[in-house]
Amino acid sequence: MPRPAPKVSDQPDQDSGTSQHDRRSQAMRARICRAAIACLDRYGYAETSFARVQEKAGVSRGAITHHFPSKQALVAATALVLLSKALEPARNRDSSDAPMPVHALILASWDSVVNSAGGRAMVEILSACRSDRALHALLADKLHDWDRQSRRSITRHYVGTDAEDAELLWSIARSFLRGLILHEQFTADPAYLGRMVERFARMMETQLHLRPPG
């Protein structure tokens, strides 16, 4: 028995990243995913090709195909990066800091999550999931998990009219903000989107409230 079996999983272990191989590898993956986000935002899922990502990231073709066996695998990995980012605004309020008021939470979600390169890339990915079976197979479970996590995170700090109302309302808010990205095609005035967010936040704070302490 000469040596240990080579790593099979493409999901790196918790304690990996210590060796030079792993560190280089992770850095390359992150670099490629960052380029993929930019391409998804600018060109959309269909026009996001290996060639485009390769150019944007400044890496070789082989580097991409080595880490991601297919286009779907690349986009799925990129989606996981985006999802973990999208959980942060709620997560950093979990422990010591006080949660934001509903109005501020919605405005912040729009400004720093949905209406950003990452947010627009995520819309592209969700849209692609509808028709790309391979992508759907790679992402469906992860999206369901993330959704559960997001809803649980909200009910910890906010309440509606009953127990499950808060998560229902927050799902509504997420849907609205996502739809707003597409609404940009209907109006030439970008400020109108801001007015919509503001009005929506005003409506939401009549239904969703900070959970009273204790």
Partner DNA sequence: ACTTACAAACAGAACGTTCGGTCTGTAAAC
Partner DNA sequence: GTTTACAGACCGAACGTTCTGTTTGTAAGT
Q: Which of residues 33-92 bind a copy of itself (CB under 8 A)?
A: 42-47
Structure token digits, residue 96: 């010591």
Helix (H) or strand (E) holding 209: strand 209-210
Window 123 to 152, contacts with a copy of itself (CB under 8 A): 123-124, 126-132, 136, 139-140, 143-144, 146-147
Q: Count residues near DNA (CB under 7 A).
A: 30
**Counting contacts by CB under 8 A, is residue 209 touching a copy of itself?**
no
Min dist CB 26 to a copy of itself, Å, is 27
Alpha helices per DSSP H over 44-132 = 50-57, 61-67, 71-86, 88-91, 102-109, 117-131
- Select from a copy of itself, DNA, none the partner in contact with residue 158, using the beta carbon and a kind-dependent cut-off of 5 to 8 Å: none
Q: Quick one: what does residue 130 bind among a copy of itself, DNA, none, with the CB cut-off 5 to 8 Å set by partner type?
A: a copy of itself
Residue 147 sits in the site that holds DNA (CB under 7 A): no
